[in-house]
Amino acid sequence: MNRAMLAKVCSAAVQGIEAYPVEVEVNVGWGDTKFTLVGLPDAAVRESLDRVTTAMTNSAFKFPLERTTVDFAPANGGMRAEP
């Protein structure tokens, strides 16, 4: 069975004192159990795996035993470089 799910939410990221819109897309589908973060090159994004797994555990959700990909992209379509 090939079960795929795509969720898309609008969020925001902070750079200095400026905020800018970010689209977050999540796909859970067939494949090895793996959690991948792609998109914005910010250290907070790279460190968010621990925060996501902890939040799911504390909320009594079970982490999917499938391939999970989370993509962070600026809502304006362009990638922002780190300062």
CA distance 42 to 65: 26
| pTM, two decimal places | 0.64
Report yes or no on 83 lying in a domain: no
CA distance 28 to 56: 15
Report yes or no on 51 lying in a domain: yes
Report yes or no on 15 lying in a domain: yes
List all residues 6 or more positions away from 4 whose beta carbon is below 8 Å from its beta carbon. 27, 28, 29, 30
Report yes or no on 80 lying in a domain: no
The angle subtended at Cα 72 by Cα 68 and Cα 50, nearest 5°, is 55
Report yes or no on 61 lying in a domain: yes
pLDDT score for 23: 87
Bridge partners for 15 per DSSP: 18
Q: Give the structural domain span for 51.
A: 7-74
Tally the domains of the chain: 1
pLDDT score for 56: 79
Who wins on pLDDT, 5 or 79? Answer: 5
What does each C-alpha distance from 79 to 40, 45, 57, 63 come to in angstroms? 7, 14, 31, 29
pLDDT category, 31, cuts 50, 70, 90?
Answer: confident
Closest CA to 19 of 42, 52, 50: 42
